[in-house]
A and B are shown apart, each in its own frame.
Chain A
Amino acid sequence: MEREKTDIFSRESQRESGRKGKQLSGRGEGLEPQVAEETARESSAKTGLPLWMLGLGADRLRADMNRLLALLFHQGVLDEQFLQLQQLQDETSPNFVSEVVNIYFHESEKLLRNLRGLLMDREFSDYKKMGIHLNQFMGSSSSIGAKRVRNVCVAFRAASEQNNRAGCLRALELVEHEYCYLKNKLHELFQLEQQRVLAAGVRYPIQN
């Protein structure tokens, strides 16, 4: 089960790494032609250099970040609650978002493991307990703005209220998928943020 779990959690990231070549389209900058400039990540993948050393500049990284965010909003992965989270980040709490999100990841994985453990049990019957876990997961997901995750949780809850084990299992799979995707994307986002901060502090001669 653990392996399966790591599979689920890591599968998406593997898929992700295979995607480096694909472009990300962002609405903020309008439609980009098929052969638009590659993202910073793509450059980094090509050259093997860390992003911040590419000399791409903080602006580029910020643009990438924005694009990624825009995409996530478009997909409904995140909603405006995430923006609220970002707004709470300021000088007094400069890493607020990443702190909260990391706590979320930590807790959520615990919860998801619990849920799966419960459901995989052949004699599973404690829907109430599952409901508690689920509720908490739902609450925290909605609090950070993970819209799709929360939506799938709703389906999960409905199945749980009907004591529909098969439905719960299916819903759990969906939840896990969505969660993985979200986690990957958010990691990506934070990476970009980190790089941007670093790049902003680095001065390189501009390379073409």
Chain B
Amino acid sequence: MTVEERKGGLAGEDGVKDPFPVGMRVLAVDDDPTCLMLLDGLLRRCQYQVTTTNQAITALKMLRENKNNFDLVISDVSMPDMDGFKLLELVGLEMDLPVIMLSSHSDPKLVMRGITHGACDYLLKPVRIEELKNIWQHVIRRKKIDSKDQNKSADQDNALHADGEGGEGPPSSSNADQNGKLNRKRKDQNEDEEEEGEENGEENEDPSSQKKPRVVWSVELHRKFVAAVNQLGIEKAVPKRILDLMNVEGLTRENVASHLQKYRLYLKRISCVATQQANMVAAFGAKDSSYMRMGSLDGFGDFRGLAGPGRLNSTAMSSYPPSGMLGRLNSPAGLSLRGLTSSGLIQTGHAQNSSNSVNTHGKLQPVVLPTNQSASLFQGIPTSLELDQLQQRKCISTQRGEFSSVDNTTVFTTANGFPDSRMTVHSSSNSLSNAPSNPLMLQSNPQQTLCRGGLANQSSLKAVTLNPEPYTMGVSGSSNFLDHGRCNENWQSALQLSKFPSNSLPLSEPLNCDPLTTNNLREHISSTGSHIRRSPIDFSATSVLAGPLEDSRGEMPCQSGLIGNVVQNINYAPKQRWEEQKQDYTQSSNHVFGTLNSIIPANNVMGPLNHSLDQNNAACNRKMDMPLISQSNASSSSLVQHSEVEKSAMDTKMVSNEDYLLEQTKSQDGLIHNSYESLDDLMSAMIKRSLGS
């Protein structure tokens, strides 16, 4: 059921999606026949099925007859028989169809009204075909949001997919699919969870469909476990409550109980050597690479002093598959391959414990436990699943060498939400660029401050262990982790900045006609765009950006589309603004002047007119422009002269101001255009990617 369901959903989505924009049924309402005919032509060019009417009442009638006849409604704002906003409201209420408003006026009040009345989008006339090509997104988005409401918990809980993607296009089924693909460790569990989530809309606490006889305490699972424990307090953590908090499918109380027991034992053990570790870490903090050279098992000797798990881990580490640095650890084979990662994890765990605020470092603890536990559990008997996990970690380590433990630590320490997907993705991708992702993940971790604090302590504590190899991982991990902590800051700021426009744009008045505000917004947008561009993980950043847009309900969902339009509207806004300042004539003349610059003014027709134009009345000049233009049959030369004359005749200050502002707007338009393009491209790419995946 589940797989089919998912695949069916996906295929259904795909099947529907591929031809979907084609043949989308649009109802266009506009009292202006010119615009209506144009709209009709444009929409047909986009291969939509178009129905037009010039009366809102007729439109309502058509919609009421059968709302399934249409996917989308485009309506003009000002119509004689009914206010466009009223129609918008009615359609939204009765038929719940996405409605796009159309107007020749970019008055921000109107736009605001559109938003409050629930419009998906607000387009300016003249409508361009490029905009119309994208309007189908509103239909998809609305559908997704409706289905997402039901699957919200499933999405949030797993978050093995980029949040933005989840919001943008693909249905939760495709997310589940991705989850399954990306996270093989928990494939079954994920599938269970996703399906359960989809069915129930709420993650079940009942381990109802436990398929696997033995629970593998994967990293994520352990992390959840530790989170739950920390939340409850180590003293008060009882298996039942932990189970509830963890909210994991297929986990029994018994599993949790046994795991808790081992965890408690582990905590006891590591608390002894905590201080020692701290010193060691402090001492070794700076030297990363040297520690990478994993020595012999002896290195783990002291580590073994950390008792059972430590011992196992050391052997595990030594048997760790070769990476650049970790090769030496490979001496004993056939043991569980947790290797460095586990040791690193242990380090972190130890460090945390030594810093003795278990709760504080709870986040980092899970890192250790799974390895410990599994090491103890599967002594020398690596299960296939474990091998998978190990291999994953191996991959992580192999890639990163000194960063591997950091990866794992960071990976493991990050909370739910972003991290899971990131972790798995990155572990499979194994690129150094994962490093930035870690801070990203960290950032998304709601308890990131704790983590960071933990990290700081962690580094100090890690140094305590005398054992070079495992500690090197820990040490290097921790020191790198600190760096990542710094990276976190950057990321945080970047992401915040990228999030900023998402908050500021739609909520404030994006189309505030005040050029200053518009400029600010442009800057924000452009800085957003540039931030997004700068981020190595464009998709993540964008998805973060889009995420908040998409995750919120109501009018917010439209805003990602709206941003594109807002940006474009801002492009329009300055032009409109210009015109409203009555300077447009000069502007157009300037424009004409600019374009005709090369043409030699041969005509002296304008000579006598110069004098007449030298009068002070600008309007007068303008007036004369027209007849002059027409009289001279619009010879370009005369126009050139014309513009020149007009320029000289007009108040130079005015002209220069206009020019300045014009250039400013132009340059900013260009900037906006770039940002717009990048934003839009990113969004469309995201949509495509998510839809295509």
Chain A: residues with CB nearer than 8 A to chain B?
12, 15-16, 19, 22, 24-25, 27, 31, 34, 71, 74-76, 81, 84-85, 87-88, 93, 96, 99-100, 103-104, 107, 132, 135-136, 138-140, 142-145, 147-148, 150-152, 154-155, 157-159, 170, 173-174, 177-178, 180-181
Q: Please pick, from A76, A107, A138, A152, the residue contacting B33 in the complex, using a CB distance under 8 A.
A: A107
Which residue on A lies nearest to B578, using beta carbons? A154
Whether B128 pairs with A181 at a CB distance below 8 angstroms is no
B508 within 8 A of A: no
Contact present for A103 and B31 (CB under 8 Å) = no
Contacts A12-B630, A25-B635, A136-B31 hold; do A142 and B588 have CB atoms under 8 A apart?
no
Contact B78 A132 (CB under 8 A): yes
Check if B34 sits within 8 Å of A158, measured CB to CB: no
- Complex interface: chain A residues within 8 A of B619 (CB): 170
B596 contacts chain A at the CB level, 8 A cutoff: yes
How would residues 620 to 662 of chain B score, 1 for a CB under 8 Å from any chain A CB and 0 otherwise?
0011001101111111110100000000000000000000000
- Interface contact A76-B41, CB-CB below 8 Å: no
Q: How far is the CA of A4 from the CA of B588 in the complex (A)?
A: 28
Chain B residues contacting A178 (CB-CB under 8 Å) are 626
- Contact flag A174-B623 (CB < 8 Å), given A148-B588, A155-B582: yes
**Nearest 4 pairs between A and B by C-beta?**
A154-B579, A139-B104, A140-B34, A177-B626
**Could you say which residues of chain A place their CB within 8 Å of the CB of B105?**
135, 138
Question: With contacts A88-B45, A178-B626 known, is A144 near B38, CB below 8 A?
Answer: yes
The reply to whether B576 and A154 contact each other, CB–CB distance below 8 Å, is yes
Known contacts A75-B639, A76-B591, A155-B585; A174 and B622 CB within 8 A of each other: yes
- Contact string against A for B residues 32-48, beta-carbon threshold 8 Å, 1 for contact and 0 otherwise: 11110110011001000
> In whole Å, how far is A176's beta carbon from the nearest beta carbon of chain B?
9
Number of A-B residue pairs having CB atoms within 8 Å of each other in the complex: 135
Contact A136 B588 (CB under 8 A): no
* Cβ–Cβ < 8 Å partners of A84 in chain B: 42, 126, 128-129
Interface residues of B in 549-583 (CB under 8 A from A): 576, 579-582
Bound CA span A140–B35, Å: 6
Q: Is the CB of A140 within 8 A of B32?
A: yes
Query: Which of the residues B31, B78, B584, B599 comes within 8 Å of A151, measured between beta carbons?
Result: B584
Nearest A residue to B78 via CB reads: A135
> Is A139 in contact with B582, judged by CB distance below 8 angstroms?
no
Q: Are B32 and A151 in contact (CB under 8 A)?
A: no
Known: A84-B42, A136-B104, A157-B580; 11 extra A-B contacts, CB below 8 A, are A25-B636, A71-B634, A74-B595, A107-B34, A135-B78, A139-B125, A144-B34, A151-B584, A151-B587, A159-B582, A174-B622
Taking a contact as CB atoms under 8 Å apart, the answer to whether B633 and A100 are in contact is no
Q: A107-B34, A142-B126, A174-B623 are in contact. Are A15 and B576 (CB under 8 A)?
A: no
User: CA separation between A16 and B599, bound complex, in Å?
Assistant: 22
* Beta-carbon contact of B579 and A155 below 8 Å: yes
| B636 contact set on A, CB distance < 8 A | 25, 71, 74-75
Contact between B588 and A139 (Cβ–Cβ < 8 Å)? no
The answer to whether B238 has its CB under 8 Å from any CB of chain A is no
Question: What residues on B are CB-neighbors of A88 within 8 Å?
Answer: 38, 41-42, 45
Q: Which residues of B contact A25 (CB under 8 A)?
A: 599, 635-637
Q: Note all chain B residues with C-beta closer than 8 A to A85.
A: 38, 41
| In the assembled complex, B127 has its CB within 8 A of some CB on chain A | yes
- For residue B377, CB closer than 8 A to chain A, the reply is no
Contact call B629/A181, Cβ cutoff below 8 A: yes
B588 touches A151 (CB 8 A): yes
**Shortest CB distance B215–A (Å):** 62
Bound form: Cα–Cα A173–B103 in Å? 25
A96 / chain B contacts, CB cutoff of 8 Å: 41
Interface size on B, residues (CB 8 A): 51
B476 to chain A, nearest CB (A): 58
The verdict on B112 contacting chain A, using a C-beta distance below 8 Å, is no
Whether A31 pairs with B576 at a CB distance below 8 angstroms is no
The answer to whether B635 touches A31 (Cβ under 8 A) is no
- The complex places the Cα of A75 from the Cα of B623 at a distance, in Å, of 16
**Interchain CA distance A206-B294 in the complex, whole Å:** 92
Distance, CA A69 to CA B633, complexed state (A): 14
Q: Which residues of A contact B104 (CB under 8 A)?
A: 135-136, 138-139, 142
Residues of B within 8 A of A145 (CB): 126
Selected A-B contacts with CB under 8 Å, 11 pairs? A27-B599, A75-B629, A104-B34, A107-B34, A132-B78, A135-B104, A143-B38, A151-B587, A152-B584, A158-B581, A174-B622
The answer on a CB contact under 8 Å between A81 and B126 is: yes
Which of B37, B602, B637 contacts A103 (CB under 8 A)? B37
Assess whether B631 is in contact with A74, with CB atoms less than 8 Å apart: no
How far apart sit A22 and B128, CA to CA, in the bound complex (Å)?
36
Known contacts being A85-B38, A144-B38, is A139 close to B32, with CB within 8 Å?
yes
How many Å from the CB of B194 to the closest CB on chain A? 45
Q: Which of B41, B78, B128, B632 contacts A100 (CB 8 A)?
A: B41
Complex: A12 Cα to B639 Cα, angstroms: 17
Distance, CA A50 to CA B635, complexed state (A): 25
**What is the bound-complex CA distance between A27 and B634, given in angstroms?**
13
Is B387 interfacial (CB-CB < 8 Å)? Answer: no
Given A25-B635, A100-B38, A143-B127: A136 in contact with B45 (beta carbons within 8 A) = no
Contact indicator B629/A152 (Cβ below 8 Å):
no
Q: Which residues of A contact B591 (CB under 8 A)?
A: 76
Residue of A87, A136, A140, A181 near B630 (CB, 8 A) is: A181
Please state if B633 and A22 are interface contacts (CB–CB under 8 Å).
yes
- B-side contacts of A22, CB under 8 Å: 632-633, 635
Assess whether B592 is interfacial by the CB under 8 Å rule.
yes
Answer whether residue B600 sits at the interface, using C-beta atoms and an 8 A cutoff. yes
Beyond A145-B126, A181-B630, is A158–B31 a contact (Cβ under 8 Å)?
Answer: no
B588 engages A147 (CB within 8 Å): yes
Least CB separation from B634: chain A residue: A75
When C-beta atoms are compared, the residue in chain A nearest to B45 turns out to be A88
